[in-house]
Structure formats: C-alpha cells, structure tokens
Amino acid sequence: MDLDASPAPSEPPVARPALVPPGLNQVAAWSWRLLVIGAALTVAGFVVWELRGLFVPVFVALMLATQLVPFSYWMQRHGTPPVVAVVVSLLVLFTIVTFFTIVILGGLISQIDEVGAEVSRGADKVAAFVADRDGPLDVEKGQAQKDTASIDEALDKAGDVALQGIAGGISLFAQLIAGAILALAFLIYMLADGPGVFRWIVSRFSRRVRAPVDRIGRRGWVTLGAYFRGVVAVGLFDGLMIGIGLVIVGVPLAGTLALLIFTLSFIPIAGAWISGTITVLTALATGGIEDALIVLAIVLVVQQVLDSYMVSPLVYKQQVNLHPMVTLGSVTAGTTLAGILGAFLAVPLVAMVWGMVSEYERIQAGEAPAPAVAGGGELGPAPAPSSAAG
C-alpha cells in the first residue's frame, strides 16, 4: 500500500439553484423590518393618542415656553430676580391671551353672521355666472345654487353654531379648561427652571450619548420657537397688508376679514386658501367683479409673493424648512385625528420633529451643529462630549 499516495481530489460541490430568488429574499428581509418599525410606530401612536389629554397640554406649554423662557432668561441676565421674571412673563402671556380672546375671537364671533351672509351672496353670484356660461363648466342654475346651499347655510348659521357650542358643549369646555390649567402648570415649571428640566431629561441618557441628545433637543427647541414666531409674524403681516388693501378698495367688514386672515394663518396653506376665498367672495358680493379681481390680486401678491420670497425667509431663517406637501399633509392628518386643535398643532409638531431628525443626520455625518442650535442658550451650557463616543 502506497502511503505516500495523495488522496484523490474531491469533486467541487454542485451549485444548487436557490429556493428563493435573491431579489425576493431581500424584499422579504426589508419587509419584516418595516413591519416591526410599523408596529412600533403604531403602538407609540396609540399610546400618544390615548394620553392626548397629557401630551397636548405639554406640547402647548412647550410651544409657549419657547417664547417666554428666552424673555425670562433675558430679564434675569439684566438683574431681575427669577421669581419676578417668571411673574412678568406670565402677566405678558395673560395680557396677550386676553387681548386675543376679547378683541379677535370676540370680534369674529360677533360679526361672523354678517360675513357669512356676504359670502353667501358672493357664492350665489359665482353660481349664476357659471350657470349662464356654456363649456366644461356648463351647469344648470338650479343645480349650481343647490350645490352651494350647504355652504350658504353653514356660513349663515356659523355664529349661532359657535354660540351654541359654547353654551351646550359643557363637557368639551370642561376638558379645555382642564387642559389649559395643566398646560399652565407645566409652563410655570418650565419658566421657573427650564434649564434644569432640560438637563434632567438629558441626564436620563447614558453619558456616551448625552452630548448628541443635548444637541438634538436644542435643535427641536429652537425650531419650535422659530415656527411659532414665524407663524405669528406671517399672520400679522398678512392680516395688516390685506386689511389695508380691503380698506382702500372699500370692502365692508375689512377689520373682521383681517382678523379672520390672522387667525387662519395658524393653519398653514389651508388657512390661507380658506381666508382668501372668503375675502374674495365678500368683495364680489359687496363691490362686484372689479373689486373681487382687485382683492384677489392683493391676496395673491401678499400671501404668495411677499410671504414666500420676503417674509417667510426672514422670520424663519431656514430653521423651519418643510416642503408644502409635508405641511399640507400634516394639516390634513391633524384635522382628521383631532379636529381644529389638530390642525393648529400638527405642523409645529412635525416641524420640531423634522428639525431634530435633521440634526441627528448631521451628527451621523460628523458635521458641525446647525447654526440654529446655538440659539438655545437659555437652556444652559451643553454637556462636554464623552471621549468614549463614536
């Protein structure tokens, strides 16, 4: 027997065809990951929705705190005792809320019936114009008036509905009062020790990630504050400029329409469409087609040109950069889930989360903090980066 003989080479294994195509295998791998992520988001959304009585007041308090904490911080840096700074900040808030409730909402509710009547007349004129024309918009006059009947009825009764809702919605009113009190309590804590609250939240994370968490939190804080200031500035600009234009044209109820434009500006995109439509229909009913076209031009120039290219870039300063599709989708989703309150709160929430995600991407890419992060000085000094990070 030849001990030196080498063993016979083994034949290479025969490649068997894969039971699952590689493309389908990759799709399946991504599918179960997406299912897990979707399930986690669903559970988180369910928890937030069930605890909306807590989350909504906290978010409202946080949004107000982004304006009042810097003001209180500025007073304290100039020698004002902390307690006095907090009290003055709350008094400023109460003054603004009282003015908004009495002057703006009171004026709207007291004259909304008259505005509704004028809008109804304008809608009737539009229906008559469409019915008298041939072409793709050829509609029977009776049918056109029937199509606008629901709008007319809703606008004519808008004031009565608002008053009945206040008088009869005792449960809703009680919930609003309870939510307002809870939001005020959270706001007082944030004013009294905002940096301490922020440091406590950051300290709940491990030392290795505290610096990134601090940076992401500051970006969310600054973004939310920039959004709130921006939407107020845009609303004031739109209401003032369009209101002046209405006075010059001679449209009745110019003051009420200006207040309506300011109020609806807190609902981005959709609010501008609604207020613009109401304003143009009012001008059509009271002054005819010439006044309506002039008012339409004023609304388009102010809301689409001056806002888009001058006011918004100045007040937001690239700290809030949402695509219009994202904004409109947020308003729609918020309205579907929580009605008018959701319409008001959806976009600032999405803007804050968007800013935080953007800052996280900068951290992952090793980039320097966004310039907006430097604006959160009222939250106290940032923690030193851990040497173990990365």
The letter for the amino acid at 295 is: V
Does a structural domain hold residue 317? yes
Does a structural domain hold residue 35? no
Question: Would you say residue 245 has pLDDT above 80?
Answer: yes
Does residue 226 share a domain with residue 349? yes
Averaged pLDDT of the chain = 78
pLDDT value, residue 145: 54
Token code pair at residue 225: 């504050």
Does residue 270 share a domain with residue 216? yes
Q: Check residue 202 and report its DSSP letter.
A: H
The letter for the amino acid at 48 is: V
The Cα–Cα gap between 111 and 341 comes to: 23
Please give the torsion angle defined by the CA atoms of residues 323, 327, 329 and 334, in that order, rounded to the nearest 10 degrees. Answer: 160
Which residues span the domain enclosing 137? 52-195
Does residue 331 share a domain with residue 231? yes
Does residue 181 share a domain with residue 226? no
Burial of 93: CB neighbours in 10 Å, binned 0-12, 13-18, 19+? middle
Over residues 138-152, the pLDDT tens digits come to 555 555 555 555 555
Does residue 282 share a domain with residue 169? no
Name the domain boundary from 165, 195, 225: 195
pTM above 0.85, yes or no: no
Over residues 160-203, the pLDDT tens digits come to 544 444 444 456 567 778 888 999 999 999 998 888 888 898 99
Closest by Cα among 317, 217, 325, 224 to 269: 325
Question: Would you say residue 388 has pLDDT above 50?
Answer: no
Strands (E), the chain: none
Does residue 367 share a domain with residue 218? yes
Give ∠ CA 212-390-29 in degrees, rounded to 5.
90
Residue 56: other Cβ atoms inside 10 A: 19
Does residue 220 share a domain with residue 102? no
3-state secondary structure of 388: coil
Question: Would you say residue 297 has pLDDT above 80?
Answer: yes
Question: Would you say residue 15 has pLDDT above 90?
Answer: no
Burial of 302: CB neighbours in 10 Å, binned 0-12, 13-18, 19+? buried
The lowest-confidence range among 133-147, 269-283, 327-341 is 133-147
- 39 vs 14, higher pLDDT: 39
Does residue 187 share a domain with residue 75? yes
Does residue 216 share a domain with residue 363? yes
pLDDT value, residue 3: 54
| Number of domains comprising the chain | 2
